[in-house]
Amino acid sequence: MLPPLSTEQVIERTVREEWGRILASLVSGLNDLQLAEDCLQEAVISALDHWGKNGLPRSPSAWLITVARRKALDKLRRAQNFARKENEIAYLLELENRPLDDPMTETIPDKRLEMIFTCCHPALERKSQVALTLRTLGGLSTDEIAAAFLDKPASMQKRITRAKQQIARGGIPYEVPQDADLPERTSAVLSVLYLIFNEGYSANSGTAVLRSDLSGEAIRLTRIIAALLPNDCEAAGLLALMLLHDSRRNARVGPAGEMIALEDQNRKRWDREKIQEGVAILNETLPKQGIGPYQIQAAISAVHAQSPAWDQTDWTEIVALYELLLAMQPSPVVQVNLAVAVSYAQTPDAALTIMEKVATAAKIQTYQPYHAAMGNLLARAGRITEAKVSFENAIELSENAQEIVFLQNAARRLLH
Amino acid sequence: MQFMCLIYSAPNSGPKPGTPEFGMFMKGYGDFTQTVKADGKFVAGDALQGADTATTVSVRAGKAETIDGPFAETKEQLGGYYLLDCTDMDEALKYAAMIPSSEFGRIEVRPVMVWDT
């Protein structure tokens, strides 16, 4: 049996799980993110004391929001601009004047969707969107966010404060956008979540533990958003994509921290539960109208995830999916991926024909994976001298030590 | 007969600590307490700490639950009380009007329930 959780652990867990929901609900009545956050923080501190003495209340989250509201009422009363805050005070008093037991067991209305649209508002810088989303919905501390992005806590604090001021001054509303704006704004939210996931997934920087937390956090938030937007196939698609990628977390890095290519990964180390869940979500989502890039990428990942071995991969299926993705997102990056799939479905020479079309694309010559793919394709086509040059280019462009080792190994293996 | 005099006033109303008026105000309380004691009316009386220190306890399903607040039901908060032994409500009100906070706050006077034995 596991030892019982300490009060501190329960509080930490409740706060992490419920922070976004409570904060979003507070903000929707107070219209002041900073005030809401300060009050919730104070409520958490108070919870340590009360819960420590008496055990957990019937509903920890209802307890927290009630105390946070009371703190807000108290602060607003003392505030200089008391008169201007009449609406907020009236709102809080109305909540206070309910029968005694209501506040102790209330169900907190879910305003997280409104909140994430505010955090990912296009008026804010992308990095601020990410930080604010992690802070407000994820309940991560400023220090944790700073550590995850290798920023100084002070500058991360400044960034978050500035973003909050921008929301307050710019009158950015806490609401779900109008129908006409919804698809575009949703796609901005999803790209912020994907960015958070990738920050955690790429072992480029930061400590490994924090980074993996970031991916877990992105999955948790995407799960919430996908549940709140049940008709958005791309939200479900993104969740599936994250789960399928994340299923390979333990297999993609070796004992010395080195990257392991999909080809060489021990598939027994893939997380079956995550794969099953990702595939189940896809099976449910794909038949609906509303296919998009996240779903297609998830489908590609699912083909790999379900294939028992590298040489049993259904490359024809993967090529078809990349062609679909390319039609939706015409980009040289997708084309490079398509070419690699074609090299296995057909021949390396067929793939090189596709790569010729990519070679003239803007910026492709500074795109490291292009050169790595070229090295791989040329080597397999028997054009060793050219392959060597491509690998050298790729290594030249790489800024990451693990990646350089990875490329060197790939080159060594293919060129002999 | 006992009467509970509940003293309500808004925070920051009345004399500010450190001013000569505050000294007079506090002396007023001292004098009032002396008066009710001398008249044989005093049972108990205290000042309370600010409403922001309030904690509520409730027991549900045999389990005590405590929670911060509520801090302020209205703008005026309960700041203290006197429990006085008076002959009737009229006399209690006469004394209540002598409580210094009655000048800028309000005193709620309620008879203490007497149970038939």
Average pLDDT over residues A386-409: 89
Q: Which residue has the tokens 């450190």?
A: B18
pLDDT above 50 for A205: no
A231 burial via Cβ count (<10 Å: 0-12, 13-18, 19+): exposed
Residue A90 lies in a domain: yes
Q: pLDDT exceeding 90 applies to what percent of chain A? A: 57
Q: What is the CA radius of gyration of chain A?
A: 25
A95 and A177 both lie in a single domain = no
Q: How many helices (H) and strands (E) does chain A have?
A: 20, 0
Residue A384 lies in a domain: no
CB–CB of A11/A97 below 8 Å? no
Q: Which of A29-33, A118-122, B19-23, B71-75 is least confident?
A: B71-75
Cross-strand pairs, B60: B63
Cross-strand pairs, B9: B77
Report residue A24's pLDDT band, with 50, 70 and 90 as the boundaries.
Answer: very high
A216 and A266 both lie in a single domain = no
pLDDT of residue A148: 76
Residue A275 lies in a domain: yes
Residue B101 lies in a domain: yes
Angle at CA A262, nearest 5°, toward A333 and A244? Answer: 80
B72 touching A (Cβ < 8 Å): yes
Structure tokens at A56: 């957990």
Residue B83 lies in a domain: yes
In angstroms, rounded to a whole number, what is the distance separating the alpha carbons of residues A219 and A198?
Answer: 11
pLDDT digits (tens, 9 = 90+) for A242-257: 999 999 998 988 887 7
Task: Show Cβ contacts of residue A58 under 8 Å, excluding neighbours closer than 6 positions.
Answer: A104, A105, B60, B65
CB–CB of A295/A234 below 8 Å? yes
Residue A257 lies in a domain: yes
B58 touching A (Cβ < 8 Å): yes
Q: H or E element: which one contains B79?
A: strand B77-85
| CB atoms near residue A392 (< 10 Å) | 14
Residue A145 lies in a domain: yes
Domain count, chain A: 3
pLDDT of residue A165: 93
- Which of A113, A134, A51, A39 lies closest to A78, judged by CA? A39
With CB atoms and an 8 Å threshold, state whether A74 touches B71: yes
CB–CB of A257/A402 below 8 Å? yes
- Which of B15, B2, B19 lies closest to B101, judged by CA? B15
Q: How many residues does chain A have?
A: 416
At B84 the three-state DSSP class reads strand
Average pLDDT over residues A330-355: 95
Q: What is the dihedral of CA A199, A204, A208, A213, to 10 degrees?
A: 0
CA dist A58 → A9, A106, A177, A370 (Å): 17, 10, 35, 57
Q: Domain ends where: A313, A337, A360?
A: A313
In angstroms, rounded to a whole number, what is the distance separating the alpha carbons of residues A275 and A308?
Answer: 13
In angstroms, rounded to a whole number, what is the distance separating the alpha carbons of residues A31 and A174?
Answer: 8
Pairing of strands B42-47, B2-9: unpaired
Cβ contacts of B68 on chain A, cutoff 8 Å: 43, 46, 50, 67, 70-71
Pairing of strands B42-47, B77-85: antiparallel
In angstroms, rounded to a whole number, what is the distance separating the alpha carbons of residues A377 and A273?
Answer: 34
Residue A351 lies in a domain: no
A18 burial via Cβ count (<10 Å: 0-12, 13-18, 19+): buried
A116 and A193 both lie in a single domain = yes
A218 and A275 both lie in a single domain = no
Residue A198 lies in a domain: yes
In angstroms, rounded to a whole number, what is the distance separating the alpha carbons of residues A90 and A81?
Answer: 15
pLDDT of residue A339: 97
pLDDT of residue A255: 82
| CB atoms near residue A201 (< 10 Å) | 20
In angstroms, rounded to a whole number, what is the distance separating the alpha carbons of residues A364 and A376?
Answer: 16
pLDDT of residue A206: 44
- Residue A265 sits in which domain range? 230-313
- Residue B44 sits in which domain range? 2-111
Residue B106 lies in a domain: yes
Average pLDDT over residues A224-241: 94
Residue B117 lies in a domain: no
pLDDT of residue A311: 94
pLDDT above 70 for B11: yes
Residue B47 lies in a domain: yes
pLDDT of residue A162: 95
With CB atoms and an 8 Å threshold, state whether A70 touches B68: yes
CB–CB of A134/A115 below 8 Å? no
B13 touching A (Cβ < 8 Å): no
pLDDT of residue A211: 60
With CB atoms and an 8 Å threshold, state whether B68 touches A57: no
CB–CB of A300/A240 below 8 Å? no
With CB atoms and an 8 Å threshold, state whether A67 touches B70: no
Residue B14 lies in a domain: yes
Domain count, chain B: 1
A149 and A184 both lie in a single domain = yes
With CB atoms and an 8 Å threshold, state whether A53 touches B11: no
Q: Domain ends where: A229, A253, A273?
A: A229
Average pLDDT over residues A290-311: 96
Residue A287 lies in a domain: yes
Q: Which string of DSSP letters, residue by residue, matches A96-115? A: HTS-TTHHHHPPPP--HHHH
Average pLDDT over residues B48-55: 87
Query: Which carries the bigger pLDDT value, residue B4 or residue A253?
Result: B4
Please name the amino acid found at residue A246: D
Mean predicted lDDT score pLDDT of chain B: 91
pLDDT of residue B74: 58
Q: Name the DSSP letter for residue A2.
A: P
A153 and A200 both lie in a single domain = yes
Q: Which residue has the tokens 């790729």?
A: A394
pLDDT above 90 for A268: yes
Q: What is the CA radius of gyration of chain B?
A: 16
CB–CB of A260/A254 below 8 Å? yes
In angstroms, rounded to a whole number, what is the distance separating the alpha carbons of residues A59 and A70?
Answer: 17
- Which of A172, A176, A175 lies closest to A164, judged by CA? A172
**Cα B109 versus chain centre, distance:** 9
pLDDT of residue A208: 52
Cross-strand pairs, B107: B7
Residues of A with CB under 8 A from a CB of B: 43, 46, 50, 53-55, 57-58, 63, 66-67, 70-71, 73-74, 77-78, 96, 100-101, 104
CA of B74: which chain A residue's CA is closest?
A: A93
pLDDT of residue A3: 67
Q: Domain ends where: A105, A127, A153?
A: A105
In angstroms, rounded to a whole number, what is the distance separating the alpha carbons of residues A310 and A384?
Answer: 24
In angstroms, rounded to a whole number, what is the distance separating the alpha carbons of residues A267 and B97?
Answer: 85
pLDDT digits (tens, 9 = 90+) for A44-57: 999 988 988 888 88
Mean predicted lDDT score pLDDT of chain A: 89
